[in-house]
Structure 1
């Protein structure tokens, strides 16, 4: 009886050895890769939290610069943020804020540079769309109509579709294309909620162009 048990155990051991000899390396590498991936995932999360914490401190400096309307400081803080923590949402928000202060202070080229970075590098579609929308306005001021229209074409977020169409109407009007401008304004007016005060501005443009929208077309 003992002999039979010994033989069965030996057969099992031999089977395990044969299996491990055939698949041992594959199993070892698979387990290793899983462990490395898990460690990397934990490390990535820690890195993201660490980056966000450090970026938030710098963003406080940006907030101070905005409150003080200090365009030069806002530009410096934004540069540091995008260079050191460019993958954080703080850098994307800082780019939009820096551009606003720079625009208010007449630094149009600096504002365009800030917004271009957000439009190209932001991970959030809404931030990219907002940057494109603001870029279109600055390029319109510089009479770069083709550039402004190109920026408006790049607005992908549905949240900004109405505003993009309104701005497109402004560009077309500046190009001397009144019929196309009215069509764009009308499209923007239809897309904007009737709860938004800005919709009245679009309506005023249409009225001035002799194309006052019907009340029944109000967006809900």
Structure 2
């Protein structure tokens, strides 16, 4: 008797499956095809992206080699081209390198390139701070302290990756402007930061020695 009931149940299930297949077979096949197309498309997209990244990586290494060989005009052109055509990671690196190459012969143009990077939200905070610091370094001898402060203040925050260089540039700018109060402020921040590199700390101590002694109250 149990076997009979089991056979009946099996037959009922088969009948239900036949009805479902008869009614929805087109949808089931279409869904399966769409899934296969989707998976195949995603795999194809990943392959194309990997190919683009590999090509951009090779081109970036070639541009770096040109820079290492002191072929700076060619390197700048190569980095500029990559900045226009490469995937995002290499594009950002190429823009930074193109600005660095431009700084060798046209500091004003380099500052424009760095400022464009600072304004571009497609770059990470560290990359934008690096651009801030490099642009400020090119402007140290010509820019006012107030303008330097406006450029660099956000890069001097306690966790900012380039805070040490940003603070040093502001200390030098304040010293050039005869603003000893501001110069001491930045030099104190350099000296009090336990992560300040030793070479930078030594330069800060040398600059501190050039400042007039603090008046006793």
Q: Is the CA contact (8 Å cut-off) linking 2:76 and 2:97 kept in structure 1? A: no
TM-score by length of 2: 0.70
User: Residues 89-137 of structure 1, C-alpha deviation per residue, up to 9 Å, x if partnerless?
Assistant: 4x433333333332232x0122123323444366454333211211222
Q: Is the CA contact (8 Å cut-off) linking 1:102 and 1:110 kept in structure 2? A: yes
Q: Is the CA contact (8 Å cut-off) linking 2:53 and 2:87 kept in structure 1? A: no
Closer, same or farther: CA 32–99 of 1 in aligned 2, 3 Å: same
How many residues are aligned here?
207
1:54-73 equivalence runs, <5 A: 54-73=55-74
Which shows bigger deviation, 65-74 or 53-62? 65-74
1:1-220 equivalence runs, <5 A: 4-13=5-14, 36=38, 40=42, 42-89=43-90, 91-105=91-105, 107-119=106-118, 120=120, 123-143=123-143, 145-155=145-155, 158-191=160-193, 193=195, 196-210=198-212
Q: Is the CA contact (8 Å cut-off) linking 2:66 and 2:75 kept in structure 1? A: yes
Displacement after TM superposition at 1:8 (Å): 1.2
Aligned CA RMSD, in angstroms, stands at: 3.9
Q: Say which one has the larger Rg.
A: 2
TM-score by length of 1: 0.69
Closer, same or farther: CA 132–122 of 1 in aligned 2, 3 Å: farther
Does the residue aligned with 2:161 lie in a helix, a strand or coil?
helix
Q: Is the CA contact (8 Å cut-off) linking 1:122 and 1:128 kept in structure 2? A: no
User: Residues 50-91 of structure 1, C-alpha deviation per residue, up to 9 Å, x if partnerless?
Assistant: 2232122322342244234444323311210111105124x4
Gaps of 5+ in 2: none
Displacement after TM superposition at 1:179 (Å): 0.4
Which shows bigger deviation, 151-160 or 29-38? 29-38
Does the residue aligned with 1:159 lie in a helix, a strand or coil?
coil
Gaps of 5+ in 1: 213-220
